[in-house]
Structure 1
Amino acid sequence: MTARLRRWMTPVVATLTVLAIVIGPVPATAAPSTPTPSGHEDDGEPRLLNDVIEGANRAYTRAKAKLEKSRKRQLELALQVDRAQAELDALRPQVSHIAMQSYRTGRLGAAAILLDSNAPDSFVQRAVALDELNMVNAKKLAEVNVVKTRAEKAKLALDAEVREQQKLTNDMARDKREAEKALALVGGQGFTGGLVSATSPVARIAPGRTSDGDWKSEGCSEKDPTTAGCVTPRTLHMYKEVKRAGFNRFVGCYRPGGPWEHPKGLACDWSLQNSGFSPWRSKDTRMYGNNLAAFLIRNADRLGVYYVIWNRQIWFPATGWKSYSGPSNHTDHVHVSLL
């Protein structure tokens, strides 16, 4: 094959090669998204865990529908490429004929075909045929190139869309896992009724924490801000952090007598009411207790929390939430004891 023939054939071969790549398999993975806003942000209220989970589920549904649409587009694209390949295949006999003439004459072009005739009529017929062939080739190649270019662009767009959907899928799965983990941490959907903020403020680390994560023993050396009694430095720190987090209703810490943590200055009872103690009777008081307990548990490692009791449940770091049936059912306050 001459150099001139090779130059003429290069675009066709390149077209065939690119088309073969284009019709290759497209990854069929995808789908979302970051949970949609719950609406509570607009009026300054915190997002609730059930809103986060619902948002994640809605985002998943939307992403799934978007993925199905992408797969349909992928199928249409493959059909377009197949048609382009068929059109290009139709040109092969004509290209082969020209290549054969070039091989026989040693050169390529109109003269190579026209000089192969041995009669005037044959010369004219070949001239007409050559003109038609050139027109057909040019038109077919132009059509194929248009389809090929469109298919390449569509595939690039589809690949980008699939990658974005995969990212959204991973984000949604991560957010949903975190939401469910947080929900389990604060007692679960049934325990909280979903009335608990998705996040809590981060407490400052309490004094007395050792390098290996343990806590030094402390005495009841600080004045209790809620009674005439005393509390440990760590309890006083916890008290200030809970207040700093916005929980400003009635609270009592030191209480004399008994074998437990109150007389040692290691516990506080956080009421749901502005004064005194009364069981939760409304969404407001229940959510206040849920959020307070959630804050203590989410910051347990930073505050040195020993256990939390709230709404007939008790939480230990080692066991999580368990049913509680002590002298008080703790529906009127959140109890926290420190190490």
Structure 2
Amino acid sequence: MTARPGRWLVLALAPLIAITMIVSPGAPATAAPGGGNSSTPDDGENNPMLNDVLDSTGRRYLAAKAAVAKSTKAQANLAVQVRNAEAQRDALLPQVGAVAAQQYRTGGLTTMGFLLNVRSPDGFLEKAVSLEEINSVNDGKLSELEAAIDRVATSKARLDQEIKSQKQNLEAMEKNKESAEKALQLVGGKTVTGGFVNLKSKVAAPAPRNRDGEFSSESCNVDDETTGGCITARTMHMYKEVRKAGFTRFVGCFRPGGPFEHPKGRACDWSLQKSGFSPWHNQDTREYGNNLMAFAVRNADRLGILYVIWNKMIWFPATGWSSYSGASDHTDHVHISML
């Protein structure tokens, strides 16, 4: 049976999201509880940015796509080789079969039997030459058949390897595409981060839970060292874990009056500045907010985070990211609310 090459439909996938840094003009600092403002950057870890990862992922995607195209062309050439080798093999089979049939009928052509009826020296020589030619022809046909069979086997093996390699590259293309999309979507995509966010965040120590694994309701009974008010034990745990992860700029948690979680001691506002609040206006402040937000989102389940607001977007564990248009656009701080 003639082997058919594997056929893989290569779709032109949309290019991965091009990441560009969004830079706005420097904005004046606004007053905040605790004093003035400062945009002096902290010494951060040299972690890879998500846009760098998307770049490398995109390169691997394109390399795999090129390999698929090359493999497709190689498969077409190998398929032709297989068909040609099989055609040569099939043409030789009757010829070799005829030789075998003759050998079977005559019991084999021996040198003595073939030369018995020679009546002259010239006849003997002619017979000897004929015998040599017959043997040469038979041996040649057998050798050609063996070579043709080897070519079929070799070409089919190479074709099978190309099909396997192509399948692996197609899977690599899809894997790289999915990993890039997931990594970007988790932390809000281009809208929230512009791509300038660490690929990974530190793993926070988990907050205490009930015996049934749930987070219990907590009252505001722990001193808030950021404002002098009170916060819950779970909020304090979150506060310490965020600082332990390297986010040590200005923060304010408890705030009296108003709705939502601040007066309940279940929320903190993490500024981008050493003190006070000012909207992000350069790569340092943008990345600081992005990375702090990403740490909170990636550790939300471990810390008991209810929702996160940053850069005009809000994140809920159940629904992911949505646009946010509250009293503050949250471009000057990351808001974290707790269960």
Q: Retained in 1: the 8 A contact 2:227–2:254?
A: yes
- Hey, what's the Cα distance between the residues in 2 that align with 1:215 and 1:198? 28
Equivalent position of 1:103 in the other structure:
104
Q: Retained in 2: the 8 A contact 1:272–1:278?
A: yes
Q: Retained in 2: the 8 A contact 1:219–1:232?
A: yes
Secondary structure of 1:100's aligned partner:
helix
Equivalent position of 1:264 in the other structure:
264
TM value normalised by structure 1: 0.77
Equivalent position of 2:6 in the other structure:
27
Equivalent position of 1:40 in the other structure:
none
321-330 or 264-273, which moves further after superposition? 321-330
Change (3 A) 1:91 1:131: farther
1:74 CA displacement: 2.5
Secondary structure of 2:249's aligned partner:
coil
- Hey, what's the Cα distance between the residues in 1 that align with 2:68 and 2:127? 54
- The higher-RCO structure (CA 8 Å, 6+ apart) is 2
- The letter of the residue matching 2:302 is R
Secondary structure of 1:243's aligned partner:
helix
1:140 CA displacement: 4.8
- Hey, what's the Cα distance between the residues in 2 that align with 1:122 and 1:319? 100
1:175 CA displacement: 3.8
Equivalent position of 2:243 in the other structure:
243
Mind listing any 5+ residue stretches in structure 2 that lack a counterpart? 11-15, 17-43
Change (3 A) 1:327 1:104: closer
1:314 CA displacement: 1.7
Q: Retained in 1: the 8 A contact 2:60–2:176?
A: no
Change (3 A) 1:148 1:67: farther
Secondary structure of 1:24's aligned partner:
coil
Q: Retained in 1: the 8 A contact 2:86–2:152?
A: no
Secondary structure of 1:279's aligned partner:
coil
Count of aligned pairs: 306
- Hey, what's the Cα distance between the residues in 1 that align with 2:76 and 2:183? 41
Mind listing any 5+ residue stretches in structure 1 that lack a counterpart? 1-19, 36-42
Secondary structure of 2:269's aligned partner:
strand
Q: Retained in 2: the 8 A contact 1:81–1:148?
A: no
Secondary structure of 2:68's aligned partner:
helix
Is 1:189 equivalent to 2:168 in the alignment?
no
- Hey, what's the Cα distance between the residues in 2 that align with 1:199 and 1:75? 43
- The letter of the residue matching 1:98 is V
Secondary structure of 1:88's aligned partner:
helix
- Hey, what's the Cα distance between the residues in 1 that align with 2:8 and 2:193? 36
- The letter of the residue matching 1:52 is V
Give CA deviations for 1:257-282 in whole Å, capped at 9, x if unaligned: 22321222111110101121111000
Change (3 A) 1:299 1:45: same
Secondary structure of 1:275's aligned partner:
coil
Equivalent position of 2:227 in the other structure:
227
Secondary structure of 2:257's aligned partner:
coil
Q: Retained in 2: the 8 A contact 1:204–1:302?
A: yes
Change (3 A) 1:179 1:76: closer
Q: Retained in 2: the 8 A contact 1:84–1:144?
A: no
Correspondence list, 1:1-339, <5 A = 23-29=2-8, 45-105=46-106, 107-111=107-111, 114=114, 127-143=128-144, 145-146=146-147, 148-149=149-150, 152-153=153-154, 155-209=156-210, 211=212, 213-339=213-339
1:193 CA displacement: 1.2
TM value normalised by structure 2: 0.77
Identity of aligned residues (%): 53
Task: Name the one with the larger helix percent.
Answer: 1
- Hey, what's the Cα distance between the residues in 2 that align with 1:325 and 1:94? 85
Q: Retained in 2: the 8 A contact 1:88–1:141?
A: no
- Hey, what's the Cα distance between the residues in 2 that align with 1:87 and 1:113? 34
278-287 or 77-86, which moves further after superposition? 77-86
1:240 CA displacement: 1.6
1:242 CA displacement: 1.1
